[in-house]
Structure formats: C-alpha cells, structure tokens
Amino acid sequence: MPEAFLDHTVLSWDKNTHASSEHRLIGEEPLSIRVEGKPYSVVMRTPGDELAHAAGFCLAEGLVDSPEDVNTLSCCQGDDANVVTVTLKESRRNKIVDILDRRGFISQTSCGICGKEIVKDLHQIIRPLKDHTRLDAASAVNCIENLSQNQPLRNQTRASHAAAIYTFDFKLLSVAEDVGRHNALDKAVGKLFLNGRLDEAVLLTLSSRISYELVQKAARARIPVVLAFSRPTSLAVDLASKLNMTLACLAHPSGLYVYCGEHRLVF
C-alpha cells in the first residue's frame, strides 16, 4: 500500500553554510473511486482510510443517503491499491440515475466551481438543517484551537489538513488528516457514516479556509456548525445561509468571526 509519508534528504542553505538533513514529506497519491463498475472520480489524497474516504465522498455527492444504500465497498489490492469500488442497492440506483449519468458533476479538488447549474444542483440534493442546537462559543473555540493536538501527521510533515467532528457536548467523534482539506473531511465523515454514528455529529472543525465544497459536504452529513482557522469564501457563506448552517472562523487573539447562523452559539 502507498505510504502516508516519505523521508527525503534536503539541502539546507544560507549565505554562510549548507548542510543536508532528512525531512518527512506527506504522501500524495491518486485514488480512483469506481461506482457500479465505472470510473466516477479520481481524487489526489494522502493514503489511508480509503473506505471511509470513499463512503464520505459518496455521501457528499448524493450517491448514498445511508449505509443501507451501499451493497459493497471494497479496496483493491496489489497494483490497484489506489482503487475503491462501490456498488449500490438496486433501489438506490433507481433513485440516482441522473447523478450516475453525470458522474463526477460536483466532484471537486481545488479547481473551483463550473457555472450556475452546479450551484443549483447542490441545493437540489441538500435539505436545509432544522436543528435547534445551542453550543457554548468558548468551548467551540477551544476545539478549533486544539485541533493540532489531533494531527500526528502534521506534526511529522507540517503539510496536512485536518477535520475533527464533535458531539453537542464537545466529545471528539472522528478526526482525519490528508493533504487535501476536502479529503480530510470525507474521511472523518466516512468513519462515522460507516459506524452509524453520523447523527451524533454537531460541530465540525477545519484546519483550512471554508470553501463551498466543505459546506456542501458538512450539509450532506447534517453537521450544523462549522468552525475553521481561516475565513470562508463568499459562495460558502451564501450556501450555508440558505441551508441554515453556522459558519465561523478564528478571530485573534482568541475569538470568532461568525458569518451566519449565530443563533446556535452562546456567548
């Protein structure tokens, strides 16, 4: 199997000296996700948690709504170790014919969004959140400020993103790291999805900015509150507002900028 990190010799130079040293580099490999025997999407990611990654990805794409929609989920071995295959129950396949025909239509890495039709599609597969969650803002800030404590891969490589998911009383449910921020979220969500615990998820913390695709993924997972280190994009705020979600990011030295859904936070 591919490695999550690799050791590499680098040259360190300044005007007076130069020397060689070992650096640990985060791994990056393609992962091909095949649905119903056909290629659906290829994502660049850090190896690890392949089944959870594929499950979270399929949930975000609207391919599945519950674990019961999945017939088989498997990771190939040997030369095809970077391939995950997904088959769906017949009843589910019949409901998503249009999505399968337009495979990959909202699959993004960091290439952005292509046209207004895609935004419309997002709203069609995601229902607004109607929960009445109320969270202590100070405790939520602690979760995002302490995210690095749950990032062993970052501590070794200084190059990974992370997504951590908490309950309403700030118990850590799931955490994942990856070179891609969206992959980290798919993995963290996928773990809960496969274990049947996604309904406990209330707070999502992210090491990155908040882009529209991260809001989309959180909304598909029915996670109402998203906190991140960096600010959201305008499209992310627009989508979150329409979906009745809470978006916020850190405000130094120790506070929050809340962009929408402030009713869920108790200050």
| Distance of alpha carbon 64 from alpha carbon 56, whole angstroms | 9
Q: Quick one: tokens of 1?
A: 């199997």
Identity of the residue numbered 164: A
Whole-angstrom CA distances from 190 to 52, 94, 201, 218 are: 4, 23, 12, 11
Choose among 190, 193, 214: nearest CA to 204.
Answer: 214
Cβ distance 244 to 261 under 8 Å? yes
Q: Give 246's strand partners.
A: 225
List the catalytic residues. 111
Choose among 228, 52, 190, 161: nearest CA to 245.
Answer: 228
Taken in order 123, 127, 131, 135, the sign of the CA dihedral is: negative
What letter does residue 42 receive in the DSSP assignment? E
| Distance of alpha carbon 214 from alpha carbon 225, whole angstroms | 12
| Distance of alpha carbon 64 from alpha carbon 103, whole angstroms | 14
User: 3-state DSSP call for residue 220?
Assistant: helix
Cβ distance 192 to 34 under 8 Å? no
Cβ distance 89 to 36 under 8 Å? no
